[in-house]
């Protein structure tokens, strides 16, 4: 056991490194306090991201911070330390927590939009650390909207008010969106480039390194921070269900979804597993892309292609590590990095949670 401190408002809460269910119980009196700051609310989720070490408003002394290897071990321990009491099933059914959202309509699986899914999960919705659940049918994520007629009809039925396209102009030109009925269309070019740049990579290790570097840029690059700030601001101010997508729906859209779930105080293990679900939803296209590369250029090229076509734990971890390194807390990244007002973060949290 190790002692950690969460700074909430003017008080320090001391808890040991134990299960998140115990952390939830220890935090409960504070979570129902309506005077709790936006910064403190956002920091609770990120504390779980780093081996349950606190990421308070003021960083803990360096000797109290978990080393990176320890944080990565924590991410691998999802079966034994899994989150809120009663949660042990797969993220595809999002079982656990309470049943507050159990009456929410199921999210459809779309054959022609393989990575289309609800940011809030399936079934009852993802649990937050305060015992609430994420509202479903509020925010969706997807790959590019090149759906067939049957799936287009399903999208139309969801009443989507706005679609946010995070791709470059070059990507949009090659595969333009088929918009749901009556949906506004907003282009937010996250990278700021005219087109994607495909690096010439010679090994699997270099491909992984390239992907991790791209994930860190979501935090360090001013253009990309401005893009994600604009996205979250518009999500907060627009009424009705909204959809976020990139080309594959796994990297840019994946970071956007991770930010929303962090704002909702969803434990980091769940955020990570939701992120990794892209590999499940996109299994067929990942295999096809890797095999095509193998036929074209051989086994070494195929090995380098797989990290580009899929997601790995280290990718999202790189972004969260960079948040800690650059801003200390998630709330610091949201407010100072993305330029969001605390009231905007609160609005998003209210939109996200039941």
pLDDT computed for residue 104 by the predictor: 66
pTM: 0.76
pLDDT computed for residue 288 by the predictor: 97
pLDDT at 7 over 50: no
Strands (E), the chain: 3-8, 11-16, 117-118, 139-142, 162-165, 184-187, 242-245
Q: What are 141-154's pLDDT values in tens digits? A: 999 999 999 999 99
Lowest mean pLDDT segment, chosen from 37-51, 72-86, 265-279, 328-342: 72-86
Which three-class secondary structure state does DSSP give residue 118?
A: strand
pLDDT at 74 over 50: no
Q: Which helix (H) or strand (E) holds 60?
A: none
**What span, in angstroms and rounded, lies between the C-alpha atoms of 17 and 64?**
12
Q: How many domains does the chain have?
A: 1
Q: What is the mean pLDDT of residues 153-157?
A: 96
Q: How many CB atoms lie within 10 A of CB 185?
A: 12
**What span, in angstroms and rounded, lies between the C-alpha atoms of 228 and 217?**
12
Give residue 200's pLDDT band: very low, low, confident or very high (50, 70, 90).
confident
| Range(s) of the domain holding residue 110 | 3-352
Give residue 101's pLDDT band: very low, low, confident or very high (50, 70, 90).
low
pLDDT at 41 over 60: no
pLDDT computed for residue 103 by the predictor: 64
Q: What are 320-332's pLDDT values in tens digits? A: 999 999 999 999 9
Lowest mean pLDDT segment, chosen from 11-25, 283-297, 327-341: 11-25
Q: How many CB atoms lie within 10 A of CB 326?
A: 15
Lowest mean pLDDT segment, chosen from 38-42, 53-57, 183-187, 311-315: 53-57
CATH number assigned to the domain comprising residue 202: 3.90.190.10
Q: How many CB atoms lie within 10 A of CB 241?
A: 18
């Amino acid at each position: 056991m190790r002692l950690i401190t969460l700074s909430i408002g003017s008080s320090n809460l001391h808890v040991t490194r134990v299960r998140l269910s115990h952390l939830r119980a220890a935090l409960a009196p504070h979570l129902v306090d309506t005077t709790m700051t936006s910064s403190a609310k956002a920091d609770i989720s990120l504390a779980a991201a780093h081996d349950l070490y606190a990421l308070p408003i003021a960083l803990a002394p360096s000797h109290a911070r978990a080393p990176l290897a320890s944080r990565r071990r924590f991410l691998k321990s999802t079966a034994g330390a899994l989150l809120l009491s009663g949660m042990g099933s797969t993220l595809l059914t999002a079982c656990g927590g309470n049943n507050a959202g159990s009456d929410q309509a199921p999210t459809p699986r779309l054959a022609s939009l393989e990575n289309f899914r609800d940011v809030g999960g399936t079934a009852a919705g993802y649990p937050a650390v305060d015992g609430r659940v994420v509202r479903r049918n509020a925010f969706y994520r997807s790959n590019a909207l090149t759906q067939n007629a049957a799936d287009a009809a399903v999208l139309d039925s969801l009443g989507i008010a706005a679609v946010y396209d995070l791709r470059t102009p070059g990507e949009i030109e090659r595969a333009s969106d088929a918009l749901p009925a009556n949906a506004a269309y907003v282009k937010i070019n996250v990278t700021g480039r005219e087109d994607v740049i495909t690096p010439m990579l010679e090994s699997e290790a270099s491909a992984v390194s390239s992907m991790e570097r791209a994930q860190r840029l979501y935090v360090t690059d001013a253009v990309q921070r401005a893009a994600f700030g604009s996205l979250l601001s518009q999500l907060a101010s627009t009424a009705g269900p909204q959809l976020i997508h990139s080309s594959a729906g796994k990297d840019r859209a994946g970071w956007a979804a991770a930010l929303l779930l962090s704002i909702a105080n969803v434990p980091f293990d769940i955020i990570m597993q939701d992120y990794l679900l892209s590999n499940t939803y996109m299994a067929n296209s990942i295999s096809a892309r890797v095999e095509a590369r193998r036929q074209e250029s051989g086994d070494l090229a195929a090995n380098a292609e797989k990290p580009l076509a899929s997601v790995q734990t280290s990718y999202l971890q790189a972004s969260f590590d960079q948040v800690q390194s650059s801003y200390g807390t998630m709330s610091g990244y949201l407010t100072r990095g993305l330029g969001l007002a605390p009231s905007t973060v609160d609005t998003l949290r209210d939109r996200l949670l039941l």
